[in-house]
Amino acid sequence: MSDPLAAAESAHHAFDLGPVVVLLAAAVVAVPLFRRIGLGSVLGYLAAGLAIGPWGLGFFHDAQSVIHVAELGVVLFLFIIGLEMQPSRLWSMRGEIFGLGALQVCLAIFTLIWVGIALGYPVEASFVAGTGFVLTSTAIVMQMLQERGEMAQPRGRRMIAILLFEDLAIVPLLAIVAFLAPGGAEATLSDRLQGVAIGLAAIAALVAAGRWLLDPMFRLLARFGAREVMTAAALLVVLGAAVLMQAGGLSMAMGAFLAGVLLSESSFRHQLEADVEPFRGLLLGLFFLGVGMALDLRIIAANWAVIAISVPAFMALKMLVIYVVARLAKAPGDEALERAVLMAQGGEFAFVLYAAATQSGILTPEWNANLTAIIILSMVLTPLMILLHGRLAPKPAASMEGVEAAAGLSGRVLLIGFGRVGQIVSQPLLARGHSVSIIDSDPQAIRDAQDFGFKVWYGDGARMDILHAAGAGNASLIVAAADDRAAVTRMVELIKHEYPLVPVLARAFDREHALELVAAGADWQVRETFESALEMGREALERLGDGPEEAAGLMRQVRERDRERFALETVAGTVEAGAGLLIGNAGRAEGGH
């Protein structure tokens, strides 16, 4: 008869939560700290992994097992990217993927091979080493683009296109490694054709499933209303596509991406994204933790000379190639430099390529360890390089082409700021035939306004010389509608100091800002969301059964109560400011000033 206590103790030891707690604690401590000091979350994860890994506190001794599990984070990340890439949008990027991506990969491979040859490695090993470094870290670049909000911008799209081509390139590169292996040339043509056919069949099966199976399946599951089943189905689709692609000799990440693209036009797209997102973030963080753990300080110490030469050599040459390719593709200099810095590192697929080359006999285990350390160090250095680039690179000057500076304006109304508020304010004024002088400090906004027939002059309304040139002294009314809280306050202060008789209407960011504007002398101010919120409240009352007059009357009461509270706050602020002035004067009197 079994002992219940022994069984319970055995069950207790069967699943140890300690490693999970350590991983979560390391991420929770390191990531906010590194983001707080401006180093980014990726470097935080890498540092945390190094701290708890074999060469830190020693909580983990097998970093590769963590990386293998956490690679699912990269898979889920590419699935979410795929959800944002409708087939039409992906087709529109074909030139960037197969043109820009192919040019960068081929030129970088040719250039980086020579690093290995210069260090005395055989040509085959040098090819594998350089090729592995060409494959950029999708996880790092995507994470950086997401944190900076650049994934939907043209420069972000171009980097994503190159990353997609690099993910596709892993397939022929693995085939080349098999060919270069001792005895690899003996593989028959039929074997190679069979491998290509299996890959194409896997893609065809995934496309067929996405076209005729996935949407009906989610529609059926949604009918039952079980949220946890929908989440399980989302993970099943992602992981099933990844396994199918892996079985066909392709990368798991590419399978997940294709699954996302196939579901991008589904009515369940947003729910799928919401279901997968928590797993993606957690596993991607775990991937970076694993990379930090895999940084073998013993190998670096034993081969420090080779690694110290190889890391900057590989990164510098790759940056040069990326910059040249970007400039050849007519990218601006600042975008080309930013792309070079962001994509300067090796990537996670290099580990796959190096492992295959080691099994094939092209690389020795020692070379594999050195190259892996070089890739990891380049990944660790990338966030630091991005930080330095952001602080040291000169900010590109805004183009002033097609923009005229304000000078000698004489409109009856001076409108400062032609954004979403200024554009609406101008319409009734212009409809009544009033002459309106408009200035704005954003050259691109000025050019955009010209496309719609508006004449907007360039000028910073927070500068006295610009106000004078814009005709503030002769205006009957000035409207400060800029989308900058501090700038609007400064405008009101300057205008009321220099032209106290000119009425100033000001746009307020919130209630606190409105009080600031009153103190600065604004004749009238409005919180940018206040009136629209009241209008929404009125509409809500009418839709709930109130009559138009009843709803309007209640809105008048709300507006009046707010006006009374605001007047009291204004008086309180004035009294508080006066008390502060008296205290300050008393302090100066006591100090003998």
Say which residues have a Cβ less than 8 Å from residue 524's Cβ, sequence separation at least 6: 503, 504, 505, 506
Q: How many domains does the chain fold into?
A: 3
Q: According to the model, what pLDDT value does residue 583 have?
A: 41
Burial class from Cβ neighbours inside 10 Å (0-12, 13-18, 19+) for residue 584 reads: exposed
User: Tens of pLDDT along 357-405?
Assistant: 877 788 887 787 788 888 888 887 887 888 888 777 666 555 566 677 7
The answer to the question of residue 58 being in a domain is: yes
Alpha-helical (H) ranges within 213-268 are 214-224, 227-247, 252-262
- Evaluated on CA atoms 226, 230, 231, 232, the torsion sign reads positive
Note whether 32 and 93 are same-domain residues. yes
CB atoms within 10 A of CB 574: 13
Selection from 407, 415, 418 nearest residue 453 by Cα: 418
Selection from 300, 304, 313 nearest residue 114 by Cα: 313
Q: Report the pLDDT averaged over residues 409-426.
A: 88
- How far is Cα 517 from Cα 570, in angstroms, rounded to an integer? 10
Q: What band does 86 get if pLDDT is binned at 50, 70 and 90?
A: low
- How far is Cα 356 from Cα 16, in angstroms, rounded to an integer? 33
Q: According to the model, what pLDDT value does residue 415 have?
A: 92
Tokens of 159: 């980097």
Of 487, 504, 528, which closes a domain? 528
Q: According to the model, what pLDDT value does residue 420 have?
A: 84
Q: What band does 74 get if pLDDT is binned at 50, 70 and 90?
A: low
Distance of alpha carbon 351 from its chain centroid, rounded?
25
Note whether 463 and 579 are same-domain residues. no
Tokens of 321: 């190639």
Burial class from Cβ neighbours inside 10 Å (0-12, 13-18, 19+) for residue 269 reads: middle
Per DSSP, the three-state class of 18 is: helix
Q: Looking at 189-193, 450-454, 535-539, which range is the least confident one?
A: 189-193
- How far is Cα 238 from Cα 254, in angstroms, rounded to an integer? 11
Selection from 351, 347, 349, 344 nearest residue 381 by Cα: 344
- Evaluated on CA atoms 351, 355, 361, 365, the torsion sign reads positive
Q: According to the model, what pLDDT value does residue 476 have?
A: 92
Q: According to the model, what pLDDT value does residue 589 have?
A: 40
- How far is Cα 73 from Cα 80, in angstroms, rounded to an integer? 11
- What's the mean pLDDT when you consider all of the chain? 77
Note whether 384 and 504 are same-domain residues. no
- How far is Cα 291 from Cα 120, in angstroms, rounded to an integer? 28
Q: Report the pLDDT averaged over residues 219-240.
A: 73
Note whether 90 and 118 are same-domain residues. yes
- How far is Cα 275 from Cα 273, in angstroms, rounded to an integer? 5
Element (H, E) at 524: strand 524-527
CA angle 51, 53, 54 (to 5 degrees): 120
pLDDT at 1 over 60: no
Q: What band does 411 get if pLDDT is binned at 50, 70 and 90?
A: confident
User: Tens of pLDDT along 115-162?
Assistant: 888 877 888 888 888 888 888 887 778 777 877 777 767 778 788 888
For residue 395, the number of C-alpha atoms closer than 13 Å in the C-beta half-sphere is: 3
Q: According to the model, what pLDDT value does residue 395 have?
A: 62
CA dihedral 387, 391, 393, 396 (to 10 degrees): 120
The answer to the question of residue 11 being in a domain is: no
Q: According to the model, what pLDDT value does residue 505 have?
A: 92
Sheet with 457-458, strands from edge to edge, namely 457-458, 436-440, 413-416, 477-480, 504-508, 524-527
pLDDT at 299 over 70: yes
Are 82 and 261 contacting, i.e. CB atoms less than 8 angstroms apart? Answer: yes
Note whether 424 and 541 are same-domain residues. no
- How far is Cα 215 from Cα 272, in angstroms, rounded to an integer? 11
The answer to the question of residue 337 being in a domain is: yes
Of 368, 391, 414, which closes a domain? 391
- How far is Cα 338 from Cα 319, in angstroms, rounded to an integer? 10
The answer to the question of residue 396 being in a domain is: no
The answer to the question of residue 2 being in a domain is: no
The answer to the question of residue 8 being in a domain is: no
- 126 or 243, which is more confident: 126
The range of the structural domain enclosing residue 591 comes to: 533-593
Note whether 212 and 80 are same-domain residues. yes
Note whether 511 and 549 are same-domain residues. no
pLDDT at 18 over 70: yes
Burial class from Cβ neighbours inside 10 Å (0-12, 13-18, 19+) for residue 303 reads: middle
- How far is Cα 171 from Cα 125, in angstroms, rounded to an integer? 18
Q: Looking at 9-18, 51-60, 75-84, 490-499, which range is the least confident one?
A: 9-18
Long-range CB contacts (within 8 A, 24+) of 542-546: none
Q: According to the model, what pLDDT value does residue 238 have?
A: 75
Q: What band does 48 get if pLDDT is binned at 50, 70 and 90?
A: confident
Q: To the nearest whole percent, how much of the chain has pLDDT over 70?
A: 78
Are 416 and 494 contacting, i.e. CB atoms less than 8 angstroms apart? Answer: no
pLDDT at 418 over 80: yes
pLDDT at 581 over 60: no
Note whether 202 and 351 are same-domain residues. yes
Q: Looking at 30-44, 257-271, 499-513, which range is the least confident one?
A: 257-271
Element (H, E) at 415: strand 413-416
Are 501 and 533 contacting, i.e. CB atoms less than 8 angstroms apart? Answer: no
CB atoms within 10 A of CB 169: 20
Note whether 260 and 382 are same-domain residues. yes
Q: According to the model, what pLDDT value does residue 40 have?
A: 66
Selection from 468, 445, 446, 444 nearest residue 457 by Cα: 446
The answer to the question of residue 363 being in a domain is: yes
Note whether 386 and 489 are same-domain residues. no
Q: Report the pLDDT averaged over residues 469-482.
A: 90
pLDDT at 585 over 80: no
Note whether 220 and 106 are same-domain residues. yes
Q: What band does 249 get if pLDDT is binned at 50, 70 and 90?
A: low
Say which residues have a Cβ less than 8 Å from residue 132's Cβ, sequence separation at least 6: 346, 349, 350, 353, 354, 371, 375
Q: Residue 440 is part of a domain; what is its CATH number?
A: 3.40.50.720
Q: According to the model, what pLDDT value does residue 192 have?
A: 58
Selection from 418, 411, 498, 506 nearest residue 458 by Cα: 418
The answer to the question of residue 345 being in a domain is: yes
Are 291 and 376 contacting, i.e. CB atoms less than 8 angstroms apart? Answer: yes
- How far is Cα 578 from Cα 593, in angstroms, rounded to an integer? 19
Q: What band does 320 get if pLDDT is binned at 50, 70 and 90?
A: very high
For residue 107, the number of C-alpha atoms closer than 13 Å in the C-beta half-sphere is: 18
Q: According to the model, what pLDDT value does residue 478 have?
A: 92
Entry pTM = 0.57
Note whether 127 and 107 are same-domain residues. yes
pLDDT at 578 over 60: no
Q: According to the model, what pLDDT value does residue 479 have?
A: 92
Q: According to the model, what pLDDT value does residue 533 have?
A: 86
Of 528, 550, 574, which closes a domain? 528
Selection from 207, 202, 273, 206 nearest residue 235 by Cα: 273
pLDDT at 97 over 70: yes
Q: Report the pLDDT averaged over residues 175-185.
A: 66
- How far is Cα 77 from Cα 137, in angstroms, rounded to an integer? 12
Long-range CB contacts (within 8 A, 24+) of 174-178: 174/249, 174/352, 174/353, 174/356, 176/127, 177/128, 177/353, 177/356, 177/357, 177/360, 177/362, 178/356, 178/360
pLDDT at 186 over 70: no
Tokens of 437: 């002088």
Element (H, E) at 554: helix 548-590
Crossing angle of helices 123-134/154-180, nearest 10°? Answer: 160
Q: According to the model, what pLDDT value does residue 21 have?
A: 83
Q: According to the model, what pLDDT value does residue 593 have?
A: 37
pLDDT at 268 over 60: yes
Q: Report the pLDDT averaged over residues 424-452.
A: 86
Highest mean pLDDT among 26-35, 284-293, 538-547: 538-547
